[in-house]
């Protein structure tokens, strides 16, 4: 959860520097306000105030206006507004003022690192967009810094040129987690949710991210995916993989005669889905799958071996067919020897 956010209203005058759909960092919003202030001064004109909201720890604290003819910073204007808030007791006013100051100071401290500042802003533009399904991902400034530090170690070329690829890796990790939580919820017996399913899913996803161990796995997945061949390569490789072809032959010749087409087709679908689950499991451990050979040895071969055993050990199946299993285990052994 983002501790401090600035959101501008979409009423009144439109400023080209402001995207009303964004949830700005205070430091970022300060720069924008100053840019508008300078431009208006150069153009020798006075513009109407712009409404904006200040959100602290997920709560909208203040709705006020920034006056571009006022030389005070946004932070100073916010503090003055909070101290004059007529519905807050004095103790509450000072509590929120201190929270604002603390979060603003932490933001300024971390934004000294130029690459991190660019990362944080792009993260909000990309993952904080309303276009992200099923809902945007908003991370606090310190979790964002941990995520940045974890992936920055693996950037071997120019950071800025890799930024979009990094964002795609983050989104892939996020969608994998959302799908995982969604599957768990769909298996619940009690489906009488208080509110919409999407709202319930959002709560559970945020809870998942709030767990330190889970967030560590998320960081590892992002870094590993960034360094790996994409999951689309699985689809390109497995149809041509000899051990997979032999397993298919076993499924749709001997097996289909004894157990029927539907069962064989179901097992084949389970097999291909298991490839993708295995891929995700490896990335959650932080291990990068950077080559086609690693896809074959770490993803395809172990799954094919397990399904070969499942097929041949079924009562009434052909238990003498060991060719597929031996072949896949041979590929794994060769890869271990290379490592």
Interior/surface letters 210-241, b for 16+ CB within 10 angstroms, e for the rest: eeeeebebbbbbbbbbbbbbebebbeebbeeb
Indicate the DSSP class of residue 299.
I
Instruction: Find the angle CA(39)-CA(36)-CA(14) to the nearest 5 degrees.
Output: 110
pLDDT at residue 318 greater than cutoff 80: no
pLDDT of residue 338: 36
Q: How many CB atoms lie within 10 A of CB 321?
A: 17
**pLDDT tens per residue across span 220-248:** 999 999 999 999 999 999 999 999 999 99
User: What 3-state class would DSSP assign to 61?
Assistant: strand
More confident residue, 314 or 234: 234
pLDDT at residue 163 greater than cutoff 90: yes
Q: Rounded to two decimals, what is the model's pTM? A: 0.87
**pLDDT tens per residue across span 115-143:** 999 999 999 999 999 899 999 999 999 99
Strand partners, 51: 65
DSSP 104-146: HHHHHHHTTSHHHHHHHHHHHHHHTSTTSSSS-----HHHHHH
């Amino acid at each position: 959860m983002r501790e401090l956010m600035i959101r501008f209203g979409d009423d009144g005058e439109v400023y080209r520097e402001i995207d009303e759909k964004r949830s700005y960092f205070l430091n970022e919003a300060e720069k924008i306000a100053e840019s508008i202030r300078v431009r208006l001064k150069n153009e020798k004109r006075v513009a109407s105030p712009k409404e904006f909201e200040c959100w602290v720890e997920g709560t909208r604290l203040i709705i006020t206006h920034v006056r571009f003819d006022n030389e005070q910073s946004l932070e100073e204007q916010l503090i003055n507004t909070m101290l004059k808030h007529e519905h807050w007791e004095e103790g509450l006013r000072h509590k929120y003022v201190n929270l604002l100051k603390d979060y603003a100071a932490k933001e300024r401290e971390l934004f000294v690192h130029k690459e991190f500042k660019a990362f944080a802003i792009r993260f909000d533009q990309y993952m904080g967009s309303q276009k992200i399904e099923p809902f945007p991902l908003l991370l606090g400034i310190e979790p964002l810094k941990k995520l940045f530090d974890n992936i920055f170690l693996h950037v071997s070329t120019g950071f800025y040129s890799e930024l979009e690829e990094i964002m795609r890796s983050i989104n892939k990790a996020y969608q994998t987690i959302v799908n995982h939580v969604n599957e768990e919820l769909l298996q619940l017996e009690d489906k009488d949710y208080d509110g919409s399913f999407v709202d319930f899913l959002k709560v559970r996803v945020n809870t998942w991210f709030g767990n330190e161990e889970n967030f560590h796995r998320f960081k590892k997945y992002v870094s590993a995916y960034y360094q790996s061949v994409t999951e689309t390569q699985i689809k390109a490789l497995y149809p041509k993989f000899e051990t997979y072809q032999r397993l298919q032959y076993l499924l749709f010749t001997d097996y289909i005669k004894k157990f029927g087409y539907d069962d064989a087709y179901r097992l084949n679908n389970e097999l291909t889905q298991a490839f993708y689950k295995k891929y995700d499991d490896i990335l959650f451990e932080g291990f990068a799958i950077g080559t086609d050979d690693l896809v074959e040895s770490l993803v395809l071969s172990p799954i094919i071996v397990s399904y070969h055993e499942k097929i041949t050990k079924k009562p009434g199946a052909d238990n003498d067919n060991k060719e597929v299993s031996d072949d896949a285990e041979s590929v794994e052994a060769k890869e271990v020897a290379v490592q």
